[in-house]
Amino acid sequence: MNTFWSELRRTLVPDRAGADGPLPPLLVAMTFVTGLVDAFSFLELGHVFVANMTGNVVFLAFALGGAKGFSIPASLIALGAFSLGALGAGRISSRCRHNRSRLLSQVAAVQTLFLFAAVVLAGLSGGPVAPGYRYGLIVVLGGAMGLQNATARKLAVADLTTTVLTMTLTGLSADSALGGGGGSRAGRRVVAIGSMLLGALFGVLLVRHVDIAYPLAVAGVVVAGVASLARVLGRSDPAWIRFHNEQPPPGSSSA
C-alpha cells in the first residue's frame, strides 16, 4: 500500500530531477483531455471516437456488417485524420529529437490550434451537429489526437500513453500481488485510468447540461497550459528533456 501511494504521489508531484521530470503530470492532463474529446465525439458526432482508434476499427466492422448507428465514412475519416496527425507529430519529432520539452511544447501548441478550430466549428454547428460540420470536427479532432498519441509514444513515459488504457489495465492486474507481481506502478496506472474517466464524465456533463462546445474549449485550455509549462520547465536544460536512450553531452546541466 505504501508503494501504491508513493507511486501515485510521484506521478502527480514528481521529482524534477527524475528521469521524466514534470512529464508525468503533464501527460496525466493530456489523458484527461482524451476523455473530454472522446465524450464529445461519441455523443455528438455519431458513434465515432477521435482518440480511441481501436474503437473505430471495431465500429467500422459494425458499419460494414450493417449495424445501425455506425458510419463507414465517419470511421474511415477518423482513422485517416488520426494517422495524418501522427504523421505530423513524427515530422515535429524529427526536428526535436534531442529535446522532449521542445517536442511536447511544440506539438501541444499545434494541438491547441486544432482544438480551438473545433470549438469554432462546434459553436457554428449548434446541436445536433449538421453532417458538414460533423466531418470537419472529426478531421480536426482526429488530427489533434493523432498528434497527441504519437508524441506520448515518443516521450515514452511508462504507463502514460494518454489515449489507450488497455495495456494500463492489463498491467494493473497482471503486476498486482494477486497476479504474482509486486504491484509496481499501480499508483500511476490508477491515476491514468482515473484521469480519463474524469475527463469523459466532465465531457458528458458539459455536453448534456451546458453546451456541446465546452468540452472542446476546456480541452484547448488544458493543452495550451501543457504547451506553456513544457516550454518553461525545459528552459534550464534539465536532464529529463533528453530521451532515455541518449547520453547527456559533456558539461551539460543535470539539475
Does residue 185 have a pLDDT over 90?
A: no
Task: List the chain domain ranges.
Answer: 23-239
User: Given pLDDT bands bounded at 50, 70 and 90, which one contains residue 254?
Assistant: very low
pTM, 2 dp: 0.90
Q: What is the CA radius of gyration of the chain?
A: 19
User: Which percentage of the chain shows pLDDT scores above 90?
Assistant: 65
User: Of 50, 51, 53, 46, nearest to 70 (Cα)?
Assistant: 46
At which residue does the C-alpha cell 494541438 appear?
Answer: 111
The alpha carbon of 67 is separated from its chain's Cα centroid by a whole number of angstroms, namely: 29
Question: According to CATH, what is the number of the domain 23-239?
Answer: 1.20.1250
- 48 with 71: CB under 8 angstroms? yes
CA dihedral 27, 33, 39, 45 (to 10 degrees): -120
CA dist., res. 61 & res. 69, Å (int): 12
At which residue does the C-alpha cell 513515459 appear?
Answer: 157
